[in-house]
Amino acid sequence: MCYDVAIIGAGVVGALTARALSKYKLKIALLEAQNDVAMGATKANSAIVHAGFDALPGTLKAKFNVLGCEMMPKVCKDLSVPYKNNGSLVVAFSEEEMETVQKLYDRGIANGVPQMSILNKDELKALEPNLADNVCGALRAESAGIVCPYELTIAATENAVTNGAECIRNCKVEAIDFADGVFTLKTTAGDIQAKYVIDAAGVHSDDIARMIGDESVNIVVRRGEYFILDRAVGNMVSHTIFQCPTKMGKGILVSPTVDGNLLIGPTAEEIDDKDDVSTTLAGLHDVKVFSTKSCPAVSTRNAITSFSGNRAHPVTDDFILGPSKVNPQFIHASGIESPGLSSAPALGEYLAKVVVDAIGGVEEKEDFDGTRKEVFRFRHATDEERSAAIAKNPAYGRIICRCETVTEGEIIDAIRAPAGARDVDGVKRRTRAGMGRCQGGFCGSKVVEILARELGCPINEITKFGNGSNILFDKTK
């Protein structure tokens, strides 16, 4: 079988592109090297929907950020993904930084960012009383928001699969041949043929491009480290708080998350090993120190966990989008660093259009449904909804994760969903089981049991995140 389109990389861009393409009568394959979708930069970033004032006017980043930010609320609503329009503040600590704030404001105007204003100290402190006393003012952007990037990706993948796309995991592309107008992708899941290829492989997108002889893409990997703090301090700020940007990025932010936690980070460090997502003592130390500059009361004593993510920084400093000069049937979606998540809904539509236009004469499906049914969440349900759900399925009455109040029914749903969870981290990202303060201490072993039962394998075959990340060895003596 030959696919019309193969998308390499099931991150947020790949998944939203697959969903946008699934509107059409096309055979689509979404290929993912890992055991689950959203395993690269998508899994570990600031989870921010930027307003769009950072990128220089005229860049692809500026264009797609503003478009994506505008599209995000509806995409999240359609896919039943939590999104919150909490607004952002770029805080200045000196008159010099107030000039930067003014520059960002002007840039925002040029980029078409709506609802911006410059606040003085009093206005700022009235809005966010927990900010440091030495703030001078801030740029406020009311259109900014927060979203859960992996939930968005999981939902978009589910929706694409429901609409006929295929998601193939553990499918790492190792070589690409091209003959008679068709690509043959040599993958760890066998050969896959496709007429068009979209390279959304994140930090590896330059490696993929080189497989067709396209040397134009060059990615530098920048690692960012973060802490997630307990819900007890989740409302320390209501806006996403940025410091003034530097050459390496937007600096250390303090932000609420859609799940009610507080996120602080990231650092920015160029590294050689593209897949090294270790945290470092030095990096975590920096996050600790610099986050208290904005919010003195932030303390990692409330840390639930720390993590790091690798961003694909293009040496050209802008997104690389569109057909390759080497082969026009190979479409770049490379260098998608910040504001990649914010841009993703617009990038998905754009990339789909590039392919559809190139193929020509593609019909839309009559039965396309771009909505995803709301997932039952016990912790958000009312007593009446809970009783009704348990009456239908008693598994919704059995709490597995105590900290986040996740039921067995929700975990089973997550495993049985289209492109559902296959490992412990996959269950965690889909249900939040194990994401609370005990970090899976109690529920981890129960999640392993449920996964083994649902997937029909012994518990020692269950992994944390695929590959060799098994949790258990052999039986005891």
Active site residues: 50
CA–CA gap between residue 144 and residue 241 (Å, rounded): 11
Q: What is the DSSP letter of 244?
A: P
Do strands 28-31 and 137-141 pair parallel, antiparallel, or not at all (unpaired)? unpaired
Q: Which is nearer to other proteins, 2 or 471 (CB)?
A: 471
Q: What CA–CA distances, in Å, run from 471 to 54, 283, 308, 424?
A: 42, 28, 21, 9
Q: What is the DSSP letter of 464?
A: S
Q: How far is the CB of 446 from other proteins (least distance, A)?
A: 10
Determine the residue type at 427.
V
DSSP secondary structure string for all residues of 139-195: EEETT-EEE-HHHHHHHHHHHHHHTT-EEE-S--EEEEEEETTEEEEEETTEEEEEE
* Token digits of residue 313: 């920084």
CA–CA gap between residue 307 and residue 202 (Å, rounded): 18
Q: Which is nearer to other proteins, 80 or 470 (CB)?
A: 470
Q: Which is nearer to other proteins, 258 or 459 (CB)?
A: 459
Q: Enumerate the β-bridge partners of residue 75.
A: none
Q: Are 35 and 463 in contact (CB under 8 A)?
A: yes
Q: Which is nearer to other proteins, 2 or 303 (CB)?
A: 303
Q: How far is the CB of 465 from other proteins (least distance, A)?
A: 8
Q: Which is nearer to other proteins, 360 or 468 (CB)?
A: 468
Q: Which is nearer to other proteins, 133 or 476 (CB)?
A: 476
Residues binding other proteins (CB under 8 A) = 228, 275, 277-281, 283-284, 300, 303-307, 383, 386-387, 390-391, 394-395, 397-399, 402-403, 405, 437-442, 444-445, 449, 459-460, 463-465, 467-477
Q: How far is the CB of 26 from other proteins (least distance, A)?
A: 35
- Strand order of the β-sheet with 48-49 is 48-49, 145-147, 83-84
Q: How far is the CB of 440 from other proteins (least distance, A)?
A: 8
DSSP-based three-state secondary structure for 390: helix
Q: How far is the CB of 189 from other proteins (least distance, A)?
A: 18
Q: Tokens 């990706």 sit at which residue?
A: 153
